[in-house]
C-alpha cells in the first residue's frame, strides 16, 4: 500500500468517525432539556468588578425572572403603546 493510499484511507476513516459523532451529539442533545423550568421567583446573579489598586470597583446583583413572559417584558420599552404593536406615538 502506498503512502497516498494510506492517507486517503485514514482521511475517510476520520470523516466517518466525525459524522458518527455528529449524529450521536444531535440525538443526545435532542433528548436532554436545556435551561431551567419556568417558575416563580428570580435567579440572582452577583456581579463584582474591581478596578485594582486603591479599592475601586462596583458590585451589584441582577435579578432574572424564571418566568419567560416576565423575562420578555424586560425588553419592552416602558413607553410602548398599549393599543397595539403597530401603533406609533409620534
Contact (Cβ atoms closer than 8 angstroms) between residue 58 and residue 49: yes
CA distance 28 to 21: 11
- Report the mean per-residue pLDDT for the chain: 82
Predicted TM-score (pTM) of this structure: 0.41
Q: Where are the domains of the chain?
A: 1-34, 42-73
Which residues does 42 contact at the CB level (< 8 Å), separation at least 6? 63, 64, 65, 66
Which residues does 57 contact at the CB level (< 8 Å), separation at least 6? 48, 49, 50, 51
State the residue for C-alpha cell 449524529. Answer: 23
The one-character DSSP state at 55 is: T
In this predicted model, what pLDDT tens digit does every residue of 5-53 receive, in sequence order? Answer: 999 999 999 999 999 999 998 887 766 666 667 778 888 999 988 877 7
CA distance 62 to 29: 29
Amino acid at each position: 500500500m502506498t503512502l497516498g493510499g494510506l492517507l486517503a484511507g485514514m482521511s475517510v476513516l476520520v470523516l466517518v468517525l466525525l459524522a458518527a459523532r455528529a449524529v450521536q451529539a444531535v440525538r443526545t442533545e435532542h433528548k436532554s432539556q436545556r435551561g431551567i423550568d419556568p417558575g416563580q421567583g428570580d435567579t440572582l446573579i452577583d456581579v463584582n468588578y474591581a478596578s485594582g489598586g486603591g479599592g475601586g470597583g462596583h458590585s451589584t446583583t441582577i435579578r432574572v425572572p424564571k418566568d419567560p413572559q416576565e423575562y420578555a417584558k424586560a425588553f419592552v420599552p416602558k413607553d410602548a403603546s398599549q393599543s397595539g404593536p403597530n401603533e406609533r406615538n409620534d
